[in-house]
Structure 1
Amino acid sequence: MSDIIPQNLASLHSAEEQMREKARSMIAADPRLQLHLAVTEAAMDLADTLRKFDTNDENLKVAQILGMRTFNAFAASIKLTLSGYHQNSALILRDVMETVFLLDLFAGDPTLIERWRFADKKARMKDFSPVKVREALDARDGFTSKKRFGMYELFSELAGHPNMKSSWMMRPQKDGDAVIGPFMEATALEAVISEMGRLAIQVGEKIDRFFPSNWDQGMPSRVAFAQQKKNWINTFYPTAARGP
Protein backbone atom coordinates (compact mmCIF):
# COMPACT_ATOMS: atom_id res chain seq x y z
CA MET A 1 0.00 0.00 0.00
CA SER A 2 2.92 2.35 0.65
CA ASP A 3 3.74 2.35 -3.08
CA ILE A 4 0.34 3.67 -4.18
CA ILE A 5 1.42 7.31 -3.79
CA PRO A 6 4.85 8.18 -5.22
CA GLN A 7 7.39 9.11 -2.57
CA ASN A 8 7.83 12.63 -3.86
CA LEU A 9 4.10 13.27 -3.56
CA ALA A 10 4.07 11.82 -0.06
CA SER A 11 6.93 14.12 0.88
CA LEU A 12 5.07 17.06 -0.64
CA HIS A 13 2.02 16.24 1.46
CA SER A 14 4.18 16.12 4.56
CA ALA A 15 5.50 19.60 3.75
CA GLU A 16 1.93 20.84 3.26
CA GLU A 17 0.95 19.53 6.69
CA GLN A 18 3.93 21.35 8.19
CA MET A 19 2.75 24.55 6.51
CA ARG A 20 -0.70 24.02 7.99
CA GLU A 21 0.68 23.76 11.51
CA LYS A 22 2.72 26.92 10.96
CA ALA A 23 -0.38 28.70 9.65
CA ARG A 24 -2.38 27.60 12.71
CA SER A 25 0.24 29.18 14.97
CA MET A 26 0.18 32.42 12.98
CA ILE A 27 -3.62 32.57 13.06
CA ALA A 28 -3.70 31.80 16.78
CA ALA A 29 -1.58 34.91 17.34
CA ASP A 30 -3.77 37.19 15.21
CA PRO A 31 -7.42 37.82 16.28
CA ARG A 32 -8.09 39.62 13.01
CA LEU A 33 -7.32 36.52 10.96
CA GLN A 34 -9.48 34.50 13.35
CA LEU A 35 -12.36 36.90 12.71
CA HIS A 36 -12.00 36.63 8.93
CA LEU A 37 -12.18 32.85 9.22
CA ALA A 38 -15.10 33.02 11.66
CA VAL A 39 -17.21 35.11 9.29
CA THR A 40 -16.23 32.81 6.42
CA GLU A 41 -17.41 29.79 8.41
CA ALA A 42 -20.67 31.61 9.22
CA ALA A 43 -21.27 32.37 5.53
CA MET A 44 -20.53 28.74 4.66
CA ASP A 45 -23.01 27.62 7.30
CA LEU A 46 -25.66 29.87 5.74
CA ALA A 47 -25.09 28.20 2.39
CA ASP A 48 -25.27 24.76 3.99
CA THR A 49 -28.48 25.67 5.82
CA LEU A 50 -30.21 27.11 2.75
CA ARG A 51 -29.51 23.95 0.75
CA LYS A 52 -31.53 21.99 3.33
CA PHE A 53 -34.72 23.91 2.58
CA ASP A 54 -37.03 21.55 0.68
CA THR A 55 -38.51 23.36 -2.30
CA ASN A 56 -39.98 22.78 -5.72
CA ASP A 57 -39.12 26.32 -6.77
CA GLU A 58 -36.51 25.87 -9.50
CA ASN A 59 -35.36 29.47 -9.17
CA LEU A 60 -34.68 29.03 -5.45
CA LYS A 61 -32.82 25.84 -6.28
CA VAL A 62 -30.45 27.94 -8.39
CA ALA A 63 -29.68 30.10 -5.35
CA GLN A 64 -29.13 26.96 -3.30
CA ILE A 65 -26.70 25.55 -5.88
CA LEU A 66 -24.78 28.81 -6.15
CA GLY A 67 -24.56 28.92 -2.36
CA MET A 68 -23.23 25.38 -2.36
CA ARG A 69 -20.65 26.46 -4.94
CA THR A 70 -19.40 29.19 -2.61
CA PHE A 71 -19.23 26.67 0.26
CA ASN A 72 -17.01 24.34 -1.74
CA ALA A 73 -14.88 27.19 -3.02
CA PHE A 74 -14.29 28.63 0.45
CA ALA A 75 -13.42 25.18 1.78
CA ALA A 76 -10.90 24.59 -1.00
CA SER A 77 -9.45 28.08 -0.70
CA ILE A 78 -8.93 27.67 3.05
CA LYS A 79 -7.27 24.31 2.59
CA LEU A 80 -4.93 25.67 -0.06
CA THR A 81 -3.79 28.79 1.77
CA LEU A 82 -3.27 26.91 5.04
CA SER A 83 -1.20 24.39 3.07
CA GLY A 84 0.99 27.13 1.59
CA TYR A 85 -0.56 27.55 -1.86
CA HIS A 86 -1.64 31.18 -1.60
CA GLN A 87 -1.84 31.96 -5.30
CA ASN A 88 -4.04 28.95 -6.00
CA SER A 89 -6.21 29.85 -3.03
CA ALA A 90 -6.72 33.36 -4.42
CA LEU A 91 -7.65 31.92 -7.82
CA ILE A 92 -10.53 30.05 -6.20
CA LEU A 93 -11.59 33.25 -4.44
CA ARG A 94 -12.05 34.81 -7.87
CA ASP A 95 -14.65 32.12 -8.49
CA VAL A 96 -16.36 33.14 -5.24
CA MET A 97 -16.37 36.73 -6.45
CA GLU A 98 -18.01 35.82 -9.76
CA THR A 99 -20.59 33.70 -7.96
CA VAL A 100 -21.50 36.34 -5.39
CA PHE A 101 -21.91 38.95 -8.14
CA LEU A 102 -24.37 36.59 -9.83
CA LEU A 103 -26.20 36.01 -6.54
CA ASP A 104 -26.35 39.77 -6.05
CA LEU A 105 -27.88 40.24 -9.49
CA PHE A 106 -30.48 37.53 -8.88
CA ALA A 107 -31.33 38.81 -5.40
CA GLY A 108 -32.03 42.23 -6.87
CA ASP A 109 -34.16 40.88 -9.72
CA PRO A 110 -35.33 37.26 -9.23
CA THR A 111 -36.90 37.23 -12.71
CA LEU A 112 -33.38 37.05 -14.12
CA ILE A 113 -32.87 33.60 -12.59
CA GLU A 114 -35.28 31.95 -15.03
CA ARG A 115 -33.64 33.73 -17.97
CA TRP A 116 -30.27 32.46 -16.79
CA ARG A 117 -31.59 28.92 -16.31
CA PHE A 118 -32.82 28.62 -19.87
CA ALA A 119 -30.20 30.73 -21.65
CA ASP A 120 -28.10 29.03 -24.30
CA LYS A 121 -24.38 29.77 -24.44
CA LYS A 122 -24.80 32.77 -26.74
CA ALA A 123 -27.51 34.34 -24.58
CA ARG A 124 -25.61 33.56 -21.39
CA MET A 125 -22.47 35.29 -22.64
CA LYS A 126 -24.52 38.23 -23.92
CA ASP A 127 -26.41 38.84 -20.68
CA PHE A 128 -24.64 36.98 -17.89
CA SER A 129 -20.91 36.90 -18.61
CA PRO A 130 -18.80 38.15 -15.68
CA VAL A 131 -18.32 41.57 -17.30
CA LYS A 132 -22.04 41.91 -18.13
CA VAL A 133 -22.99 41.00 -14.56
CA ARG A 134 -20.56 43.58 -13.14
CA GLU A 135 -21.84 46.25 -15.51
CA ALA A 136 -25.45 45.47 -14.62
CA LEU A 137 -24.70 45.70 -10.90
CA ASP A 138 -22.81 48.98 -11.30
CA ALA A 139 -25.67 50.44 -13.33
CA ARG A 140 -28.23 49.25 -10.77
CA ASP A 141 -26.30 50.69 -7.84
CA GLY A 142 -25.22 53.87 -9.61
CA PHE A 143 -21.52 53.04 -9.20
CA THR A 144 -19.13 54.73 -11.61
CA SER A 145 -15.78 53.91 -9.99
CA LYS A 146 -15.75 50.34 -11.34
CA LYS A 147 -14.54 48.91 -8.03
CA ARG A 148 -15.99 45.52 -8.93
CA PHE A 149 -13.88 45.45 -12.09
CA GLY A 150 -10.83 46.59 -10.13
CA MET A 151 -11.10 43.73 -7.68
CA TYR A 152 -11.77 41.19 -10.44
CA GLU A 153 -8.77 42.45 -12.38
CA LEU A 154 -6.56 42.24 -9.29
CA PHE A 155 -7.51 38.61 -8.68
CA SER A 156 -7.00 37.85 -12.37
CA GLU A 157 -3.54 39.40 -12.53
CA LEU A 158 -2.23 37.99 -9.26
CA ALA A 159 -3.77 34.54 -9.50
CA GLY A 160 -5.89 33.94 -12.59
CA HIS A 161 -3.58 34.51 -15.55
CA PRO A 162 0.09 33.67 -16.09
CA ASN A 163 1.95 36.99 -16.21
CA MET A 164 4.84 38.71 -14.46
CA LYS A 165 2.63 40.10 -11.70
CA SER A 166 1.34 36.62 -10.89
CA SER A 167 4.84 35.64 -9.78
CA TRP A 168 4.49 38.03 -6.82
CA MET A 169 2.34 35.46 -5.04
CA MET A 170 5.05 32.84 -5.45
CA ARG A 171 7.62 34.84 -3.46
CA PRO A 172 7.97 34.44 0.30
CA GLN A 173 9.74 37.80 0.33
CA LYS A 174 8.63 40.74 -1.81
CA ASP A 175 12.01 41.23 -3.48
CA GLY A 176 13.09 37.60 -3.26
CA ASP A 177 12.96 34.75 -5.70
CA ALA A 178 9.85 32.79 -6.57
CA VAL A 179 9.69 29.34 -5.00
CA ILE A 180 8.20 26.05 -6.09
CA GLY A 181 5.80 24.24 -3.82
CA PRO A 182 4.15 25.42 -0.62
CA PHE A 183 5.47 28.16 1.64
CA MET A 184 4.09 30.00 4.64
CA GLU A 185 4.64 33.72 5.06
CA ALA A 186 2.61 36.18 7.15
CA THR A 187 1.89 38.76 4.43
CA ALA A 188 0.68 36.20 1.89
CA LEU A 189 -1.47 34.37 4.44
CA GLU A 190 -3.01 37.62 5.70
CA ALA A 191 -3.69 38.88 2.17
CA VAL A 192 -5.64 35.79 1.18
CA ILE A 193 -7.56 35.34 4.43
CA SER A 194 -8.51 39.02 4.63
CA GLU A 195 -9.91 38.96 1.09
CA MET A 196 -11.71 35.76 2.00
CA GLY A 197 -13.36 37.53 4.92
CA ARG A 198 -14.48 40.44 2.74
CA LEU A 199 -15.99 38.07 0.20
CA ALA A 200 -17.64 36.03 2.96
CA ILE A 201 -19.50 39.14 4.16
CA GLN A 202 -20.89 39.61 0.65
CA VAL A 203 -21.73 35.95 0.21
CA GLY A 204 -23.56 35.77 3.51
CA GLU A 205 -25.52 38.94 2.81
CA LYS A 206 -26.67 37.71 -0.59
CA ILE A 207 -27.50 34.15 0.50
CA ASP A 208 -29.49 35.51 3.44
CA ARG A 209 -31.82 37.30 1.01
CA PHE A 210 -32.96 33.97 -0.43
CA PHE A 211 -34.08 32.49 2.89
CA PRO A 212 -37.86 32.09 3.18
CA SER A 213 -38.92 34.58 5.83
CA ASN A 214 -41.18 32.08 7.62
CA TRP A 215 -38.63 29.23 7.76
CA ASP A 216 -37.81 29.04 11.46
CA GLN A 217 -35.17 26.34 11.02
CA GLY A 218 -33.00 28.81 9.15
CA MET A 219 -32.98 31.45 11.89
CA PRO A 220 -30.08 30.17 14.04
CA SER A 221 -27.72 30.24 11.06
CA ARG A 222 -28.95 33.67 9.98
CA VAL A 223 -28.57 35.09 13.47
CA ALA A 224 -25.07 33.59 13.82
CA PHE A 225 -23.96 35.16 10.55
CA ALA A 226 -25.47 38.53 11.51
CA GLN A 227 -23.51 38.48 14.76
CA GLN A 228 -20.24 37.58 13.06
CA LYS A 229 -20.89 40.24 10.43
CA LYS A 230 -21.43 42.82 13.18
CA ASN A 231 -18.19 41.80 14.89
CA TRP A 232 -16.35 41.98 11.57
CA ILE A 233 -17.67 45.44 10.67
CA ASN A 234 -17.00 46.78 14.18
CA THR A 235 -13.42 45.57 13.89
CA PHE A 236 -12.51 46.53 10.34
CA TYR A 237 -14.87 49.43 9.66
CA PRO A 238 -15.63 50.97 13.08
CA THR A 239 -16.64 54.34 11.62
CA ALA A 240 -19.25 52.72 9.36
CA ALA A 241 -20.53 50.69 12.31
CA ARG A 242 -21.17 53.87 14.34
CA GLY A 243 -23.00 55.50 11.47
CA PRO A 244 -23.18 59.26 10.69
Structure 2
Amino acid sequence: MTAQRRKTPENMVRLNEGEELIRKRSIAAIEADEALLNHVELIEAVMDHIDFFAKLDADDLDQETIQLLGARIFNDLGSAYGQLTRGYYQLAAATLRDVMEIVFLWGWFDRDPAKITEWRESDDKKRRQIFAPIEIRRFLDNFDNFKEGKRGAAYKLFCEYASHATWQGFTLMRPTGGGQVVMGPFFDAPLMKAVLEEMAQLAAQAGNYFSGFFDKTGEDAQALEAWLRRYVVTGEWAEKYLGRPHDRKFVAEMETWLLHIKAQA
Protein backbone atom coordinates (compact mmCIF):
# COMPACT_ATOMS: atom_id res chain seq x y z
CA MET A 1 0.00 0.00 0.00
CA THR A 2 1.40 3.38 -1.02
CA ALA A 3 1.94 5.78 1.87
CA GLN A 4 -0.11 8.96 1.70
CA ARG A 5 2.00 11.92 0.52
CA ARG A 6 2.40 14.53 3.21
CA LYS A 7 1.52 18.15 2.40
CA THR A 8 2.29 21.55 3.81
CA PRO A 9 -0.07 22.36 6.71
CA GLU A 10 -3.19 24.18 5.53
CA ASN A 11 -2.59 27.09 7.88
CA MET A 12 0.75 27.80 6.21
CA VAL A 13 -0.95 27.75 2.80
CA ARG A 14 -3.56 30.22 4.04
CA LEU A 15 -0.88 32.47 5.49
CA ASN A 16 0.90 32.57 2.14
CA GLU A 17 -2.36 33.30 0.35
CA GLY A 18 -3.03 36.17 2.74
CA GLU A 19 0.46 37.55 2.16
CA GLU A 20 -0.07 37.43 -1.60
CA LEU A 21 -3.32 39.39 -1.33
CA ILE A 22 -1.58 42.04 0.76
CA ARG A 23 1.30 42.17 -1.71
CA LYS A 24 -1.14 42.91 -4.53
CA ARG A 25 -2.70 45.74 -2.51
CA SER A 26 0.75 47.09 -1.68
CA ILE A 27 1.88 47.06 -5.31
CA ALA A 28 -1.35 48.78 -6.38
CA ALA A 29 -0.84 51.47 -3.73
CA ILE A 30 2.78 52.00 -4.80
CA GLU A 31 1.89 52.27 -8.47
CA ALA A 32 -0.85 54.79 -7.64
CA ASP A 33 1.59 57.09 -5.80
CA GLU A 34 4.36 58.79 -7.77
CA ALA A 35 6.58 59.32 -4.73
CA LEU A 36 6.38 55.68 -3.64
CA LEU A 37 7.10 54.53 -7.18
CA ASN A 38 10.12 56.85 -7.28
CA HIS A 39 11.40 55.30 -4.05
CA VAL A 40 11.02 51.79 -5.47
CA GLU A 41 12.74 52.78 -8.71
CA LEU A 42 15.68 54.13 -6.71
CA ILE A 43 15.94 50.94 -4.65
CA GLU A 44 15.86 48.81 -7.80
CA ALA A 45 18.49 50.95 -9.54
CA VAL A 46 20.83 50.58 -6.56
CA MET A 47 20.26 46.83 -6.39
CA ASP A 48 20.88 46.51 -10.15
CA HIS A 49 24.10 48.51 -9.79
CA ILE A 50 25.31 46.32 -6.92
CA ASP A 51 24.37 43.19 -8.83
CA PHE A 52 26.56 44.24 -11.76
CA PHE A 53 29.67 45.38 -9.89
CA ALA A 54 29.58 42.69 -7.20
CA LYS A 55 29.93 40.02 -9.90
CA LEU A 56 33.04 41.51 -11.52
CA ASP A 57 36.48 40.05 -10.88
CA ALA A 58 37.83 41.94 -7.89
CA ASP A 59 41.10 43.87 -8.18
CA ASP A 60 42.15 42.68 -4.71
CA LEU A 61 40.83 41.32 -1.43
CA ASP A 62 39.72 44.74 -0.27
CA GLN A 63 37.49 45.20 -3.29
CA GLU A 64 36.17 41.66 -2.88
CA THR A 65 35.28 42.57 0.70
CA ILE A 66 33.20 45.47 -0.58
CA GLN A 67 31.55 43.19 -3.13
CA LEU A 68 30.57 40.68 -0.45
CA LEU A 69 29.12 43.42 1.73
CA GLY A 70 27.31 44.66 -1.36
CA ALA A 71 25.81 41.23 -1.87
CA ARG A 72 24.57 41.34 1.71
CA ILE A 73 22.94 44.73 1.13
CA PHE A 74 21.35 43.42 -2.08
CA ASN A 75 19.78 40.59 -0.10
CA ASP A 76 18.75 42.95 2.69
CA LEU A 77 16.98 45.33 0.32
CA GLY A 78 15.28 42.50 -1.57
CA SER A 79 14.15 40.86 1.66
CA ALA A 80 12.98 44.13 3.24
CA TYR A 81 10.97 45.01 0.13
CA GLY A 82 9.36 41.57 0.11
CA GLN A 83 8.50 41.80 3.82
CA LEU A 84 7.19 45.33 3.39
CA THR A 85 4.88 44.57 0.49
CA ARG A 86 3.59 41.43 2.21
CA GLY A 87 2.58 43.41 5.30
CA TYR A 88 5.41 42.73 7.77
CA TYR A 89 6.46 46.31 8.55
CA GLN A 90 8.39 45.60 11.74
CA LEU A 91 10.41 42.84 10.06
CA ALA A 92 11.14 45.02 7.05
CA ALA A 93 12.44 47.80 9.29
CA ALA A 94 14.52 45.34 11.32
CA THR A 95 16.21 44.18 8.13
CA LEU A 96 17.01 47.79 7.25
CA ARG A 97 19.09 48.17 10.40
CA ASP A 98 21.60 45.79 8.82
CA VAL A 99 21.72 48.05 5.77
CA MET A 100 22.38 51.04 8.03
CA GLU A 101 25.24 49.24 9.79
CA ILE A 102 26.92 48.40 6.48
CA VAL A 103 26.38 51.94 5.17
CA PHE A 104 28.14 53.33 8.25
CA LEU A 105 30.91 50.75 7.89
CA TRP A 106 31.37 51.74 4.24
CA GLY A 107 31.49 55.34 5.38
CA TRP A 108 34.52 54.51 7.51
CA PHE A 109 36.13 52.51 4.69
CA ASP A 110 35.56 55.44 2.34
CA ARG A 111 37.33 57.83 4.69
CA ASP A 112 40.09 55.38 5.66
CA PRO A 113 40.53 52.53 3.10
CA ALA A 114 43.14 50.82 5.30
CA LYS A 115 40.29 49.87 7.62
CA ILE A 116 38.94 47.41 5.03
CA THR A 117 41.85 45.02 5.60
CA GLU A 118 41.82 45.63 9.34
CA TRP A 119 38.10 44.84 9.54
CA ARG A 120 38.43 41.72 7.38
CA GLU A 121 41.36 40.32 9.38
CA SER A 122 40.13 41.22 12.86
CA ASP A 123 39.04 38.52 15.29
CA ASP A 124 35.81 38.73 17.25
CA LYS A 125 37.35 40.62 20.16
CA LYS A 126 39.05 43.22 18.00
CA ARG A 127 36.00 43.62 15.81
CA ARG A 128 33.83 44.32 18.85
CA GLN A 129 36.34 46.78 20.25
CA ILE A 130 37.09 48.73 17.06
CA PHE A 131 34.21 48.11 14.68
CA ALA A 132 31.22 47.95 17.00
CA PRO A 133 28.38 50.06 15.52
CA ILE A 134 28.76 52.71 18.21
CA GLU A 135 32.50 53.01 17.54
CA ILE A 136 31.90 53.41 13.81
CA ARG A 137 29.29 56.12 14.41
CA ARG A 138 31.63 57.88 16.82
CA PHE A 139 34.44 57.91 14.25
CA LEU A 140 32.17 59.22 11.49
CA ASP A 141 30.71 61.97 13.67
CA ASN A 142 34.19 63.05 14.77
CA PHE A 143 35.59 62.90 11.24
CA ASP A 144 32.68 64.92 9.83
CA ASN A 145 32.59 67.22 12.89
CA PHE A 146 28.95 66.36 13.49
CA LYS A 147 27.85 67.31 17.00
CA GLU A 148 24.14 66.48 16.77
CA GLY A 149 24.49 62.70 16.96
CA LYS A 150 21.97 62.16 14.17
CA ARG A 151 23.51 58.82 13.17
CA GLY A 152 23.09 57.49 16.70
CA ALA A 153 19.51 58.76 16.90
CA ALA A 154 18.60 57.10 13.61
CA TYR A 155 20.22 53.83 14.68
CA LYS A 156 18.40 53.94 18.02
CA LEU A 157 15.06 54.30 16.27
CA PHE A 158 15.67 51.15 14.22
CA CYS A 159 16.71 49.32 17.38
CA GLU A 160 13.73 50.41 19.47
CA TYR A 161 11.02 50.21 16.84
CA ALA A 162 12.18 47.24 14.79
CA SER A 163 15.13 45.10 15.88
CA HIS A 164 14.73 44.86 19.66
CA ALA A 165 11.74 43.53 21.56
CA THR A 166 10.41 46.78 23.06
CA TRP A 167 7.03 48.29 23.85
CA GLN A 168 7.64 50.93 21.18
CA GLY A 169 8.21 48.19 18.63
CA PHE A 170 4.55 47.21 18.71
CA THR A 171 3.85 50.43 16.77
CA LEU A 172 4.87 48.68 13.57
CA MET A 173 2.62 45.72 14.38
CA ARG A 174 -0.69 47.56 14.71
CA PRO A 175 -2.74 49.72 12.31
CA THR A 176 -1.79 53.38 12.13
CA GLY A 177 -5.15 54.52 13.45
CA GLY A 178 -4.79 52.42 16.58
CA GLY A 179 -6.20 49.11 17.68
CA GLN A 180 -4.84 45.71 18.58
CA VAL A 181 -1.49 44.34 17.50
CA VAL A 182 -1.95 42.18 14.41
CA MET A 183 -0.49 38.71 14.54
CA GLY A 184 0.64 38.11 11.00
CA PRO A 185 0.67 40.37 7.95
CA PHE A 186 -1.68 43.29 7.38
CA PHE A 187 -1.99 46.17 4.94
CA ASP A 188 -1.39 49.68 6.22
CA ALA A 189 -0.59 52.41 3.69
CA PRO A 190 1.00 54.92 6.13
CA LEU A 191 3.29 52.28 7.65
CA MET A 192 4.27 51.06 4.21
CA LYS A 193 5.08 54.62 3.13
CA ALA A 194 7.15 55.34 6.24
CA VAL A 195 9.27 52.22 5.94
CA LEU A 196 9.67 52.61 2.17
CA GLU A 197 10.94 56.16 2.62
CA GLU A 198 13.59 54.94 5.07
CA MET A 199 14.52 52.13 2.70
CA ALA A 200 15.00 54.57 -0.18
CA GLN A 201 17.23 56.87 1.86
CA LEU A 202 19.43 53.98 2.97
CA ALA A 203 19.55 52.57 -0.56
CA ALA A 204 20.71 55.94 -1.90
CA GLN A 205 23.53 56.09 0.67
CA ALA A 206 24.49 52.47 0.03
CA GLY A 207 24.65 53.03 -3.71
CA ASN A 208 26.78 56.15 -3.37
CA TYR A 209 29.32 54.46 -1.12
CA PHE A 210 29.43 51.20 -3.05
CA SER A 211 29.96 53.05 -6.31
CA GLY A 212 32.97 54.86 -4.90
CA PHE A 213 34.96 51.64 -4.59
CA PHE A 214 34.85 50.88 -8.33
CA ASP A 215 36.14 52.49 -11.52
CA LYS A 216 33.01 53.23 -13.52
CA THR A 217 34.03 55.79 -16.15
CA GLY A 218 36.68 53.85 -18.08
CA GLU A 219 36.33 51.93 -21.33
CA ASP A 220 33.72 49.38 -20.23
CA ALA A 221 30.36 50.38 -21.73
CA GLN A 222 28.35 47.95 -19.60
CA ALA A 223 29.97 49.16 -16.37
CA LEU A 224 29.44 52.80 -17.28
CA GLU A 225 25.84 52.14 -18.29
CA ALA A 226 25.07 50.36 -15.00
CA TRP A 227 26.77 53.11 -13.02
CA LEU A 228 25.15 55.93 -14.97
CA ARG A 229 21.61 54.68 -14.51
CA ARG A 230 22.05 54.52 -10.74
CA TYR A 231 23.69 57.94 -10.74
CA VAL A 232 20.85 59.53 -12.70
CA VAL A 233 18.04 57.90 -10.72
CA THR A 234 19.71 58.73 -7.40
CA GLY A 235 20.50 62.30 -8.45
CA GLU A 236 16.96 63.02 -9.60
CA TRP A 237 15.54 61.40 -6.47
CA ALA A 238 17.84 63.40 -4.16
CA GLU A 239 16.96 66.62 -5.97
CA LYS A 240 13.25 65.98 -5.61
CA TYR A 241 13.13 64.68 -2.03
CA LEU A 242 16.26 66.06 -0.36
CA GLY A 243 16.65 69.35 -2.21
CA ARG A 244 20.13 68.51 -3.50
CA PRO A 245 21.00 69.79 -7.01
CA HIS A 246 21.45 67.13 -9.69
CA ASP A 247 24.51 67.64 -11.92
CA ARG A 248 22.88 67.29 -15.33
CA LYS A 249 25.92 68.72 -17.11
CA PHE A 250 28.05 65.87 -15.77
CA VAL A 251 25.36 63.36 -16.78
CA ALA A 252 25.37 64.74 -20.33
CA GLU A 253 29.17 64.38 -20.48
CA MET A 254 28.97 60.78 -19.28
CA GLU A 255 26.19 59.97 -21.77
CA THR A 256 28.34 61.37 -24.57
CA TRP A 257 31.30 59.31 -23.36
CA LEU A 258 29.10 56.20 -23.23
CA LEU A 259 28.02 56.73 -26.83
CA HIS A 260 31.65 57.13 -27.83
CA ILE A 261 32.65 53.86 -26.13
CA LYS A 262 29.77 51.99 -27.79
CA ALA A 263 30.72 53.41 -31.18
CA GLN A 264 34.29 52.14 -30.75
CA ALA A 265 33.15 48.62 -29.85
TM-score by length of 2: 0.88
Match of 1:52 in 2: 55
Other-structure match for 2:210: 207
Residue matched to 2:18: 15
Give unmatched runs, 5+ long, in structure 1. none
Among 72, 77, 94, the alignment partner of 2:75 is 72
> For 1:74, what is the secondary structure of its paired residue?
helix
Corresponding residue for 1:62? 65
> Aligned partners of 2:206, 2:117: CA distance in 1, in Å?
21
Contact 1:168 1:174 in 2 (8 A): no
**Residue 245 of structure 2 aligns to which amino acid in structure 1?**
A
| 1:175 paired to 2:178 | yes
Question: Residue 121 in 1 paired to residue 124 in 2?
Answer: yes
User: Which residue of 1 is the match for residue 169 of structure 2?
Assistant: 166
Quick one: percent identity of the two aligned structures? Answer: 35
* C-alpha distance in 2 between matches for 1:225 and 1:188: 26
Q: Which has the higher contact order (CA 8 A, sep 6+)?
A: 1
TM-score normalised to the size of structure 1? Answer: 0.95
Structure 2 gaps of 5+ residues are 248-265
Question: In 2, distance between residues paired with 1:230 and 1:156?
Answer: 29
Partner Cα distance (1:87, 1:215) in 2: 44
SS at match of 1:156: helix
Coordinate RMSD, CA, aligned: 1.6
Give the one of 123, 136, 158 matched to 1:133.
136
In the other structure, the counterpart of 1:84 is: 87
Which residue identity does 1:218 align to in structure 2? A
Instruction: For residues 97-130 of structure 1, give each alpha carbon's deviation from its aligned partner in whole angstroms, at most 9, with x where no partner exists.
Output: 0011111111221111111111111111111011
Residue type matched to 1:139 in 2? N
Compare CA radii of gyration and give the structure with the larger one: 2
Q: Deviations over 1:180-225 (max 9, x none)?
A: 1100111110011110000011001000101125362321111001
Q: Match of 1:241, as an amino acid?
A: P
Aligned residue for 2:58, secondary structure, equals: coil
Give the letter aligned to residue 16 of structure 2.
Answer: H
Give the structure 2 partner of residue 225 of structure 1: 230
- 1-structure distance, mates of 2:111, 2:223: 21
Q: How many residue pairs end up in the alignment? A: 242
Contact map agreement 1:88 1:159 (CA 8 A) in 2: yes
